[in-house]
């Protein structure tokens, strides 16, 4: 098996505070070939990217192999280096013990400077060190029992199976491993693959980890070509004492997010193409503590405590308004980030079967096609993004009547919650609104009307907008300039058959 002995980096001075970094991973004596030789060039602090046919898009802070890389240290200091010259940066890299360089300061040359970092071994890594290190290279879940045995399994969902589990006694969540327990006292060998599909490995041995640290759960990720951004961001988050990193599916990272206890995090498995419906968790508490020296004898305690989020609570202030052959249900929307939509349920009697008859993004919901003079019963419940139904509000009875409000299509398609503001970038009026209880499908059209000086003035059609995937609709008015006057806007739904809804409530702003 070929194991990586060292990683060398070459820094080339570039004009205007720019460096180029060549990275070469050298194998042991059995082979002298290198498996990866990219060049990164860019301003310090930028996302330095390089495109490789074998590896896809790779960023300086995301390259990896079995060693503790200079890139890990170097990227962590981007902010520190941002306002320094290339000469100062290279000098700091050479003399700062933080990097543990093998190149003596007297060998320093500005044109080309190389250095190597020592390989991690079982002699300089405890079980916790190894888990922190593995966040950069392999994806496993480690769970220590009271006897000091660790259960683990590969997070590759295509080749492994397992059940997500919650351990109430330990207040931990994770995955139930489907392989045998292995004692780390026996120096477990954890393998991963490099760019040429060769094995690389790390040995972990810690005889008294349980006595020192107690029972812990570690959730780590494998940075494959698809998931390297996720693993790199996770490792940086742990090292910088971020709370967590929120991925957005398929191993992609939307951004670094400082989450607090009570927030929702979506857990994406290594190499998975999607986030499963059961992978939303509410964080109860997170701690990431690193002490001691950077290499060899430091300890890292990474503890994730949480639980599956409970279903949404029942909505409040539910009322039913009788319509002509219908009923309009109104309620107070929940301030809950896991809620994606609401469902209205209808039954013919109090003890009857409640059937889902309408779904909306927010209050209200209109139930049409009912019989005037007949009593109906209604319930409303919130749904999460993974389609878990919350607690019911209701039941509430209501009887449609011909004397009630007219349930016209113009009302059902009327846009709601129109707001207007002056854009900070283009300095033009910007609008946002929601579709009505009908007309929320992708591709729906909306007309935008504008009046000047007064909402009782003449309304002119100044534009139209087609709805995209998002629930809300945005529109920017490029036909105005700052003129110290008040503008009024309202919007309608329309289709190519000539139908147009009632206008929304107007919104105004000064320009």
Q: What is the DSSP string of 380-437?
A: EEEEETT--B---EEEEEE---TTSB---HHHHT--EEEEEEE-TTT-SEEEEEE--S
Q: Report pLDDT for 480.
A: 74
Q: Report pLDDT for 378.
A: 92
Q: Report pLDDT for 324.
A: 78
Say how far apart CA 484 and CA 79 lie, in whole Å: 43
Q: Report pLDDT for 214.
A: 35
176: left (phi over 0), alpha (psi -120 to 50) or beta: beta
Q: What is the pLDDT of residues 108-144, one digit of tens each?
A: 332 222 222 222 233 333 333 433 343 333 333 344 4
Say how far apart CA 3 and CA 127 lie, in whole Å: 20
Using alpha carbons only, how large is the chain's radius of gyration in Å? 30
First to last CA, the chain: 70
289: left (phi over 0), alpha (psi -120 to 50) or beta: beta
Same topology between domain 316-405 and domain 410-510? yes
Backbone angles phi, psi at 123, to 5 degrees: -75, -25
Question: Residue 132, SS3?
Answer: helix
**Each residue's pLDDT expressed in tens, for the chain with a length of 511 residues:** 233 333 334 444 444 444 444 433 322 223 333 333 333 333 333 333 333 333 333 333 322 322 234 444 544 454 455 566 555 655 565 556 554 433 333 333 322 222 222 222 333 333 334 333 433 333 333 444 444 444 433 333 232 223 333 333 433 333 333 222 322 222 233 333 333 444 333 333 334 433 443 333 333 323 233 333 333 443 343 333 222 222 222 222 222 223 333 434 333 333 333 333 333 333 333 333 333 333 332 232 223 333 344 567 888 888 888 887 788 888 888 877 778 888 889 988 877 888 888 888 778 888 877 888 888 999 998 887 767 778 788 888 888 877 655 456 677 788 888 888 888 777 788 899 998 877 788 888 898 998 887 777 778 888 888 888 778 888 888 777 666 778 889 898 887 666 778 788 888 888 7
- Name the residue ranges covered by the structural domains of the chain: 4-116, 122-307, 316-405, 410-510
CATH number of 316-405: 2.60.40.10
Say how far apart CA 298 and CA 130 lie, in whole Å: 11
Q: Report pLDDT for 93.
A: 54
DSSP 140: B
Q: Which fold has domain 410-510?
A: Immunoglobulin-like (2.60.40)
């Amino acid at each position: 098996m070929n194991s990586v002995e060292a990683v060398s980096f070459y820094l080339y001075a570039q004009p205007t505070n720019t460096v180029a970094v060549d990275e070469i991973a050298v194998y042991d004596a059995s082979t002298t070939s290198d498996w990866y030789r990219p060049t990164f060039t860019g301003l310090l602090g930028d996302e330095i990217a390089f495109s490789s046919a074998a590896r896809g898009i790779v960023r300086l802070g995301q390259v990896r192999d079995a060693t503790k890389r200079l890139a890990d240290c170097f990227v962590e200091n981007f902010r520190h280096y941002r306002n320094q010259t290339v000469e100062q940066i290279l000098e700091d890299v050479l003399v700062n013990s933080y990097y543990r360089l093998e190149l003596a300061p007297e060998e320093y040359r500005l044109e080309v400077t190389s250095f190597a970092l020592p390989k991690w071994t079982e002699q300089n890594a405890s079980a916790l060190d190894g888990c922190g290190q593995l966040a950069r290279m392999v994806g496993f879940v480690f769970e220590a029992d009271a006897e000091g045995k660790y259960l683990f399994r590969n997070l590759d969902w295509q080749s492994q199976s397992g059940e997500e589990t919650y351990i109430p006694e330990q207040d931990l969540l994770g995955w139930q491993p489907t392989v045998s327990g292995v004692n780390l006292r026996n120096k477990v060998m954890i393998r991963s693959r490099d760019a040429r599909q060769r094995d690389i490995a790390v040995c972990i041995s810690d005889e008294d980890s349980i006595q020192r640290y107690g029972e812990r759960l570690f959730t780590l990720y494998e940075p494959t070509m698809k998931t390297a951004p996720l693993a790199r961001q996770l490792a940086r988050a742990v090292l910088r004492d971020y709370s967590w990193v929120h991925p957005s599916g398929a191993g992609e990272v939307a951004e670094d997010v400082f989450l607090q206890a009570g927030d929702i995090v979506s857990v994406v498995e290594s190499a998975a193409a999607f986030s499963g419906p059961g992978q939303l968790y509410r964080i109860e508490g997170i701690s990431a503590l690193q002490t001691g020296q950077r290499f060899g004898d430091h300890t890292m305690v990474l503890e994730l405590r949480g639980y599956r989020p409970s279903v949404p609570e029942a909505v409040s202030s539910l009322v039913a308004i009788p319509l002509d052959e219908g009923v309009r249900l109104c309620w107070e929307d929940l301030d809950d980030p896991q809620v994606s939509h609401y469902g209205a349920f209808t039954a013919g009697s109090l003890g009857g079967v409640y059937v889902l008859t309408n779904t909306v993004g927010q209050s209200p919901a209109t139930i049409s096609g009912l019989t005037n003079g007949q009593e109906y019963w209604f319930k409303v419940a919130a749904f999460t993004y993974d389609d878990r139904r919350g607690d019911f509000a209701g039941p509430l009875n209501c009887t449609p009547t011909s004397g009630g409000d007219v349930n016209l299509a113009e009302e059902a398609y009327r846009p709601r919650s129109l707001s207007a503001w002056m854009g900070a970038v283009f300095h033009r009026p910007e609008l946002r609104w929601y579709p009505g209880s009908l007309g929320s499908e992708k591709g729906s059209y909306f007309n935008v009307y504008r009046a000047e000086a007064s909402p009782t003035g003449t309304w002119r059609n100044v534009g139209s907008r087609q709805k995209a995937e998002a629930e809300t609709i945005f529109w920017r008015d490029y036909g105005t300039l700052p003129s110290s006057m008040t503008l009024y806007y309202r919007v309608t739904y329309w289709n190519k058959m000539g139908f147009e809804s009632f206008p929304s409530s107007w919104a105004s702003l000064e320009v």
